[in-house]
Structure 1
């Protein structure tokens, strides 16, 4: 490997140009080639980065001997074939979400990465969000007490995708965040959704999950909502916290609130609870771009071997959750176990 990590970005649509930008900003990495079959996209990226080679075929980028790593930001149905080809060519891979179309495809990639001794990192960018990092650090230190439940909302009016449904597009973020926060798979999931727009895929969904530790979780995702919302509420028996990604001035609010059982009874079979309603704290959160932090972590993973927050194994856990959710969606919302 040369003094800097040389990267190919395959897919120059919505996310690809952002990957080009952040990797060129990172110390120790440079994007040397971008690939996309759409000439307009290639020309747009070339206008932003004149020293970048742009090609129409992904194979050209994979065949270049000077390319050390590949970022794949293409439609989900192409992820498996492209990532497999990249790993077999000896390239490290950053693979956008969702990881693959099926659990079996994801398992094959994870095993291939081990066999080839290449880094395989999935692009779940919100685990690099400074606000989510703050929540996890406080959860690990036990500052929320025992976590009772968590619920999240991710909605907006579009953009509407046609290669995946709203669960695979949006809920995958929450599943990755839950995996980062709790470090375990849920025992079961149950989901209901609707095809409000009359397309072949769900555009709104409600998902319930329960973890072995007793934590209950709920996720609401939609492409058809009047408000752009990215919010997570976590309730512990000591403190509560709200993360609001669309409020850069106050992305995290800590609530020193709780409920305590009173040691006396008014009557047989009845007891009281004391409500503790104390301060609301607004901590100062460093506002660094999550995509840039993800890129830095990927470079460090390849160069130094330092594990990232979004290793292939965590991506596989998210895929197993997604698979169980999709099964529940087509089974009238019944509870479906999540395979280990």
Structure 2
């Protein structure tokens, strides 16, 4: 068993703690006394501490899970790698592409695994779509909606919600984001929030049909939507992460409403558990997940490109 220390015991940190699989939780660290008391109640016998140094100095802890505010990710990941710990970190990996590249280089130098929490990449529906994209024929368009969630002030909506969709697209189409064309971004802000709260992102992927992509993001939706419509010349796929049957396949016809969907059977596995298992296997085999670094760097690079276009 690999012993881990969890840094950050908020909403997502608590969820991580309950899905550790083969890892052994040895220590929980948080700056909030209330959260430490909660951790003590939830995990009797696990050490709790407000001191990050205490976690990093523990020779029995081989890896740390960093689930903290975005503006702390880079510094904490760097500190942990320099302390010779493997690192699992909530997305985004850093505040910019340069920070992410530096952390990956440091992980290689330290011979440690650096694994970013891209949970959707490990979900059964997304993996099924990636393997079966060819059955759609030439992809004519992709529309994705990610609505609802917590309004955050430690990051913007592109890095919070949009990074999921861009990572999924990078998983479907390796390296395509690097050469995506004609990006446009339309944003709107709630008067009580310092950054945009709704966004529409459009661009083209360099597929045979120059596939148009539309991504709609909003923190303000009163209901949660996580869906994607992929229209192909042969079949059309609708993915709804909130549905009992997340994938619906339709033949592409001029009268699509008359055709009942096909729902392919999917593995009931947990995406988060799969993601953590990939991290565990990486440590065990001293080999990082082969696509992780490329997907993260492609997505962050594209976000910087988008922000650069919008700034002018």
* TM-score computed with the length of structure 1 as normaliser: 0.85
**More strand per residue:** 1
Deviations 1:79-109 (A, max 9, x none): 1111011111111111111111111111111
Residue 255 (structure 1) aligned with residue 250 (structure 2): yes
* Contact kept in structure 1, 2:113 and 2:288, CA below 8 Å: no
Counterpart residue number, 2:105: 111
- Structure with greater helix percent: 2
CA distance in 2 between partners of 1:58 and 1:122 (Å): 19
Contact kept? 1:5, 1:30, Cα under 8 Å: yes
Q: Shift of the alpha carbon at 1:276?
A: 11
- Contact conserved, 1:6 with 1:66, CA < 8 A, in 2? yes
Mapped partners of 1:206, 1:309: distance in 2: 31
Aligned to 2:155: 164
Q: Is 1:192 the equivalent of 2:186?
A: yes
User: In the alignment, what sits opposite 1:236?
Assistant: 232
Asked if residue 102 in structure 1 is aligned to residue 96 in structure 2, the reply is: yes
- Structure 1 residue 149 corresponds to structure 2 residue 128: no
C-alpha distance in structure 2 between counterparts of 1:309 and 1:257, whole Å: 34
Deviations 1:160-206 (A, max 9, x none): 11111111111111011111111123223321111124322111101
- CA positional deviation for 1:313: 3.0
| 1:22 equivalent among 13, 19, 24 | 19
Which of 196, 199, 224 is 1:205 aligned to? 199
Q: Does 1:223 align with 2:214?
A: no
CA shift, 1:329, in A, is 3.8
Does the C-alpha gap of structure 1 residues 238 and 32 become closer, same or farther in structure 2, counting only changes over 3 Å? Answer: same
Aligned to 1:177: 168
d(CA) in 2 for partners of 1:310 and 1:33? Answer: 29
Q: SS at the partner of 2:187? A: strand
Local SS of the residue matching 1:151: strand
Structure 1 residues 33 and 218, CA gap change in structure 2 (3 angstroms):
same
Separation in 1, partners of 2:115, 2:191: 34
* TM-score of the two chains, using structure 2 as the length reference: 0.93
Query: Does 321-330 or 100-109 show the bigger shift?
Result: 321-330
C-alpha RMSD over aligned residues? 1.9
